[in-house]
């Protein structure tokens, strides 16, 4: 008798979920690459020839009392503000895509269930759906943030930009990297809840817009305020070029109270035992403290949204 050699059973290799995500969402990948390339080109132009032309125009046309800035300076400022607006609006765009195309459409069309039937577990599917765009978003926004910071530090026109401006502050540090990740997490969660593209889109936009608004409101309060106090003659004495907080009146005991004399006569301060006024503010020396604390808050909310998405998916597929 001859023994028949039995070949070892070949087990199919599990599909590479990350590669599938790249293939399925190739248009979004191309769009993201185009977005990063365009904004990078705008920033580099403003840093190089645009900034040189604006600086020369400023020195040629501006005096202490008069400044006809001209086209070069206007274009320089416009490109800077355009890049900031694009970076600041990015979280909403990411949430729109994540809620509709990344998660909502795949659940609605059955693409997700097909992946789950081909050796890709629901948890691994969602991990790849989030990890791949998260890596690409982090890489792209890091590049844009570095270029924005480079342009800001080399500003060739001595007026027009301030570190405390809302768009400038967010684009100049890690907040610009963290916010798109928050949009990705909230958009994905909205898509999982809705299981359809259009409701996921709407939910992702609303959740991201609400979260960013609340975080922006809370951000300045995460770091202790500096306080300046002025007497009755000096009034509110906060320096310029800062992030302003609360303000009010100071009594003879040193207590800080809301100012009861707004619009009242000169006798009002004495009647309320007011001897001066206080102002709360954040100076530029607190830039990194503000950036890092707000970034930590953003990433915490993003992590909670991601955990909620995985929990929801496990409950639905168990």
For the segment 218-224, the average pLDDT, to the nearest whole number, is 94
Same structural domain, 71 and 212: yes
- Residue 30: inside a domain: yes
Burial class (CB in 10 A: 0-12, 13-18, 19+), 270: exposed
Worst-scoring range by mean pLDDT, 131-140, 252-261, 308-317? 252-261
CA distance 56 to 157: 9
pLDDT at 307: 96
Residue 173 inside a domain? The answer is: yes
The runs of H, that is alpha helices, within the chain are 17-24, 26-45, 51-61, 70-97, 105-109, 111-116, 122-153, 166-171, 175-194, 197-218, 268-271, 287-317
Query: How confident is the model over 158-163, as a mean pLDDT?
Result: 85
pLDDT at 112: 81
Domain coverage including residue 24: 17-221+287-317
pTM: 0.88
Give the max Cα distance, the chain: 119
Tens of pLDDT, residues 6-61: 445 544 444 477 787 888 888 989 999 999 999 999 999 999 999 998 888 888 76
**Contact assessment for residue 176 and residue 69, using Cβ atoms and an 8 Å cutoff:** no
Domain shared by 172 and 292, yes or no:
yes
pLDDT single digits (tens) 61-116: 665 555 666 788 889 999 999 999 999 999 999 998 888 888 988 888 888 888 88
As beta bridge partners, residue 250 has 256, 276
Clarify whether residues 183 and 248 are in a common domain: no
Residue 248 buriedness (CB in 10 A; 0-12 / 13-18 / 19+): middle
Q: Is residue 166 part of a domain?
A: yes
Work out how many domains the chain is built from and give that number. 2
Would you give the DSSP letter of residue 99? I
100-111 confidence digits (pLDDT tens): 888 988 888 888
pLDDT in the model for residue 316: 87
Judgement on whether residues 104 and 26 belong to the same structural domain of the protein: yes
> Is residue 106 a part of any domain in this protein?
yes
Give the Cα separation of 284 and 289 in Å (integer): 10
165 and 248 in a single domain? The answer is no
How many Cβ atoms are within 10 Å of 84's Cβ, its own excluded? 24
Is 168 within 8 Å of 57 (Cβ atoms)? no
The tokens for 97 are 């895509």
Q: Which two tokens stand for residue 3?
A: 């023994």
CB neighbours of residue 93 within 10 Å:
18
Question: 101 and 211: one domain?
Answer: yes
């Amino acid at each position: 008798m001859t023994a028949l050699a039995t070949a070892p059973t070949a087990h199919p290799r599990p599909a590479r979920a990350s590669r599938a995500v790249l293939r399925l969402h190739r248009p979004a990948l191309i769009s993201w690459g185009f977005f990063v390339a365009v904004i990078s080109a705008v920033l580099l132009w403003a840093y190089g020839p645009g900034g040189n032309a604006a600086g020369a125009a400023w020195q040629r046309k501006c005096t202490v009392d008069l400044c006809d800035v001209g086209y070069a300076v206007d274009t320089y400022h416009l490109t800077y503000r355009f890049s900031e607006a694009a970076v600041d609006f990015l979280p909403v765009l990411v949430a729109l895509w994540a809620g509709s195309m990344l998660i909502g459409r795949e659940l609605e069309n059955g693409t997700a269930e097909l992946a789950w039937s081909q050796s890709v577990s629901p948890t691994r599917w969602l991990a790849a759906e989030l990890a791949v765009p998260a890596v690409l978003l982090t890489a792209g926004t890091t590049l844009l943030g570095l270029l924005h910071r480079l342009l800001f530090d080399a500003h060739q026109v001595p007026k027009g930009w301030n570190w405390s401006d809302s768009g400038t502050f967010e684009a100049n540090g890690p907040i610009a990297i963290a916010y798109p990740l928050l949009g990705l997490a909230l958009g994905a969660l909205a898509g999982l809840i809705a299981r359809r593209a259009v409701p996921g889109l709407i939910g992702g936009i609303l959740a991201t817009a609400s979260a960013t608004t609340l975080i922006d409101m809370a951000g300045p309060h995460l770091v202790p305020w500096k306080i300046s106090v002025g007497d009755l003659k000096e009034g509110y004495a906060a320096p310029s070029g800062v992030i302003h907080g609360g303000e009010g009146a100071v009594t003879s005991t040193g207590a800080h109270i809301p100012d009861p004399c707004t619009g009242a006569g000169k006798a009002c301060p004495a009647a309320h035992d007011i001897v001066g006024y206080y102002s709360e503010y954040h100076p530029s020396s607190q830039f990194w403290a503000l950036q890092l604390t707000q970034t930590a808050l953003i990433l915490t909310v993003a992590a909670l949204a991601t955990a909620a998405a995985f929990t929801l998916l496990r409950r639905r597929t168990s």
